[in-house]
A and B are shown apart, each in its own frame.
Chain A
């Protein structure tokens, strides 16, 4: 057992995740993952699947820059591991988003939804974000999936107008350690018996988007709008535009 946020975590039940690192204060768990992968590559060593938790992060990284993750307010972590042979990289972001969403439903009774590809939303506001990064050298790819989940406090305490918290949405201030344990147990179970081929269908069922919804993607300074038609087997967004179907593998969903 290892102490975390006034409670404890038990990594012994995991089959795939092998190391658990809890640091009270760090700059960014994705940065730590990156440095560690670099060192393992340089020494041609293999890094076992590792969970890096920063109880607080002074320079947590999101897609739109850095932010401060206040200790005791949420779950801030990175899971770093080598990908399996043939693992479909493009499905990792949508899969992890759904695992987080399912844990909130089962553990906190909160039915959140997913905005493409992997933002977790509740009540029209963002509850959790994921930043996935990977590094490939020859045949080896390490992927680091960072998660920031707002758990405690009110929407106003997050400091971002469009964000919310689990406490705000459920009216309950649930302790962090059991939620973190449930999340890591779920990630371990999914990584131990992956079902990548089912991820798209499962994602579509709990997505914010319904067929026919008008979505606008911003990519490379341009906007593409169209009717939502679901995802491709790779998890890419299918939009029916006036010029026919467009498939988006990248870009920011600006309006939905």
Chain B
């Protein structure tokens, strides 16, 4: 069976090199991939931005960041903040922990949509603002991270 990574590489082949379709058959396993058109890695690949909803109620304004090495991660949605994948498991991240870019920091659930928030920087977690299970607003501060030097 093909691994996810191999399937992903096939998607790249089809979409980046303008192949129309690709079909691979192994014993008992077949994968078929079709690209509608060759995608350039640009804006054309993204759906048109939809009309905006009425703006969500603004979260309390964050004070201006004065420390250039301080990075604040805010919530992209309104929902419930969870620090761990399930009540029994350990937190994704603790204060004092060093995190790399791509590290999952929390989950925000809204309408049963589980949104995993990753760190977009490398650094050390200085503060976790909401409590586990607390509702958070759009734009509300979640984590403060001191950027790695």
Please report which residues of chain A, range 70-116, place their CB below 8 angstroms from some CB of chain B when the two chains form the complex: 81-82, 84-94
Which A residues are CB-close (under 8 A) to B78? 90, 234, 236, 249
Contact surface of B with A, Cβ cutoff 8 Å: 1-2, 4-5, 7-8, 10-11, 14-15, 21, 29-37, 39, 41-42, 45-54, 56, 76-80, 101-102, 109-120, 133, 135
Which B residues are CB-close (under 8 A) to A17? 36
Given contacts A21-B7, A133-B116, A192-B47, 7 further A-B contacts (CB under 8 A): A11-B34, A41-B118, A42-B102, A136-B118, A141-B76, A143-B113, A236-B111
Which B residues are CB-close (under 8 A) to A63? 112
Query: Can you name 16 A-B pairs with beta carbons within 8 Å?
Result: A2-B32, A19-B11, A19-B39, A21-B7, A32-B4, A48-B45, A86-B52, A87-B49, A87-B50, A88-B53, A89-B110, A118-B111, A137-B101, A137-B120, A138-B120, A194-B47
Q: Is A250 an interface residue (CB 8 A)?
A: yes
Asked if A132 and B102 make an inter-chain contact with CB atoms under 8 angstroms apart, the answer reads: no
Which B residues are CB-close (under 8 A) to A19? 11, 14-15, 33-36, 39
A87-B50, A117-B112, A250-B111 known; A20 vs B33 contact (CB < 8 Å):
yes
Asked if B118 and A35 make an inter-chain contact with CB atoms under 8 angstroms apart, the answer reads: no
- Residue from A14, A90, A195, A196 in contact with B113 in the complex, judged by beta carbons closer than 8 Å: A90
Please report which residues of chain A, range 139-159, place their CB below 8 angstroms from some CB of chain B when the two chains form the complex: 141, 143
Chain-B contact segment, one of A22-30, A120-128, A167-175, A204-212? A22-30
Which B residues are CB-close (under 8 A) to A193? 48
- Distance between Cα atoms of A91 and B78 in the complex (Å): 11
- Distance between Cα atoms of A134 and B115 in the complex (Å): 4
Distance in Å from the Cβ of A253 to the closest Cβ of chain B? 10
Distance in Å from the Cβ of A30 to the closest Cβ of chain B? 10
Asked if A93 and B113 make an inter-chain contact with CB atoms under 8 angstroms apart, the answer reads: yes
Which B residues are CB-close (under 8 A) to A92? 111, 113
- Distance between Cα atoms of A132 and B79 in the complex (Å): 14
A18-B45, A24-B29, A86-B50 known; A36 vs B7 contact (CB < 8 Å):
yes
- Residue from A18, A94, A141 in contact with B111 in the complex, judged by beta carbons closer than 8 Å: A94
Q: Is A49 an interface residue (CB 8 A)?
A: yes
Asked if A90 and B77 make an inter-chain contact with CB atoms under 8 angstroms apart, the answer reads: yes
Q: Is A197 an interface residue (CB 8 A)?
A: yes
